[in-house]
Structure 1
């Protein structure tokens, strides 16, 4: 099953609902209340390379202006409007998007959007994946693609959202490859002749990700071992992960994220077992690595999970924070 979050304002006072929604989104944007009624219903799922959200929103604005240089986000967001209106302001680069439109926003750039009676599918996509699809991101921020060009990509996003509750992580690589092929259909084709080289790099990274998934318990999963197993030179492997801090750091983050998700499970496995299962050696080594990466020790994280169980805002906030660290 996909790791998911959910929030609904139904049955709450508007003030309480808005406070909960603002907390849920605090990791990614400053949320402002607008005139008129407020309501929100959001369901989100974690895919590798992408976060997907089905969102019904009205009476609020999302702003990323002051925080852009502080939070280090570098992914690309697609808003596929199904009904209602999404309005852009400031540095958003667009004025209005309606049903059938897809808006592209670069999280390295500031923007402000307003939602009124809006239903949309939002995809937060890793920058490298979008580069593999388009070749370059020049002039992408604020671009609005219109129907019928958006029909195939929009249909794919809606299909993923409809089936996400029954999916697991095994097919995420296939969904990423499909997204690479479909993204250009909304924009008239790839934007750069270097797109083939970027696609080859993505396929190499995907081979690495599959190897890590299969052998995450293997403590000898070094850069040299990975390069040999996936059939690339060490220089190529190091180049592929240079922007994200190197292959060793990437493997460590994948291990820690796997531990984080395991700590969310109701059965609460012991730390020594998790350390063995995810290649971290001992409970002590796991605790040290988890604290360094997450800013909290695993026992305290598990206690927070136990305390928050049944509270969608607290659970969603915690999970979303983990998702965003993984995506960027």
Structure 2
């Protein structure tokens, strides 16, 4: 089949948009989850790519809870899996009442037949939704991974999903089956090489997560500082540099965390239709040394230059073909849950 461009479907919502949260709630409800606000601030920028056998969502969210409870499970009968990978920010997820904090690069697998919750304070993350038959073909006991955090340093799963998100807009018209099976194979490899326990974490890891959260809050509040580095963060939260390095060791390092948050906040601003600042001004506001520096980092993370992304967004303004709508979401999830078996 000839290659073609997959059309992205986008929505950008925030507090000052009329009925913004209600619109987002209805979109997420089509996927089988109920949405609740966390705090006073709500922002949502979602880009979706629908393939024949998987759907990918690239999300930047602030102040949102997604919950799937037993009543919803009985009502819609969905059986798909979805995999979440955190790119940057603060989010937690797991079975109801057992949510755990993710580090950047961590993955989290959910089975739609089981209760679950995701809590997003302020995060940039990717979700890939897969038909059950696809995982059953290579990982019959995938249900046992429901709500488990699959750490970044235990294999290439998270990196592969983030890479898929970067390349999604340039993929051919039917990459879905290959992408879904790739993810299923990586999950199977993870199970083969990693022993997961019910707890999954040790006390020292809990301490590191607490320290990492303190650091991330400080970083988010000080992104515009040109002198924001390891020393500034350690001093700002009253922690030694060695303890700070240890807390971020498995998520790529503190320097990488600062860059991740800068580029994520820049992208969130870029995706906001009401944002009037020139890109050069935004680059400085988020702590980049120059617009060219920002552009290089942005392309490294997202696979497209920021000026190209902004041009595409403006070109798509007002076109129904690229609007993320409830009827589209509903059709995608219905299709995923009636997919035929997949051969490994």
Q: Considering the TM-score relative to the shorter chain, is it more than 0.5?
A: yes
TM-score (norm 1): 0.58
Structure possessing the higher relative contact order (Cα contacts under 8 Å, 6 or more residues apart): 2
Equivalent position to 1:177, from 177, 181, 184: 181
Compared with structure 1, are the counterparts of its residues 82 and 320 closer, same or farther at alpha carbon in structure 2 (3 Å cutoff)?
same
Residues 54 and 176 in structure 2, CA contact (< 8 A), matched pair in contact too: no
Is this contact kept in 2: 1:42–1:55, CA < 8 A? yes
TM-score, structure 2 length as denominator?
0.55
Q: How far is 1:177 from its partner?
A: 3.5
Tell me which of 23, 28, 45 is aligned to 1:25. 28
Segments of 5+ residues of structure 2 without an aligned counterpart are: 196-317, 338-344
Tell me how far 1:33 sits from its aligned partner: 1.1
8 A contact 1:92–1:105 mirrored in 2: no
Q: Which runs of 5+ in 1 are unaligned?
A: 192-308
1:79 and 1:121 in contact (8 A); partners too: yes
1:36 aligned onto 2:40? yes
Partner of 1:140: 145
| Match status 1:45 vs 2:79 | no
Looking at structure 1, the residues matched to 42 and 320 of structure 2 have their Cα atoms a distance apart, in angstroms, of 21
Q: Cα gap change, 1:103/1:171 in structure 2, threshold over 3 Å: closer, same or farther? A: closer
Secondary structure of the residue that 1:61 maps to in structure 2? Answer: strand
Preserved CA contact (<8 Å) 1:134 1:184:
yes
Q: Cα gap change, 1:155/1:315 in structure 2, threshold over 3 Å: closer, same or farther? A: closer
State how far apart, in whole Å, the 1-side matches of 2:96 and 2:336 are. 23
Q: How many residue pairs align between the two structures? A: 209
Shift of 1:92: 6.1
Q: 1:83 to 1:126 in 2, by over 3 A?
A: same
The range that moved more, 137-146 or 173-182, is 173-182
Which of 307, 310, 320 lines up with 2:319 in the alignment? 310
1:122-141 per-position Cα deviation (integer Å, ceiling 9, x unaligned): 01111111122323224211
Q: Once superposed, what is the RMSD of the aligned Cα atoms?
A: 2.5
Report the alpha carbon displacement of residue 146 of structure 1 after superposing the two structures with TM. 0.7
Deviations, residues 162-216 of structure 1 (Å, cap 9, x unaligned): 121122323333323322322223334599xxxxxxxxxxxxxxxxxxxxxxxxx
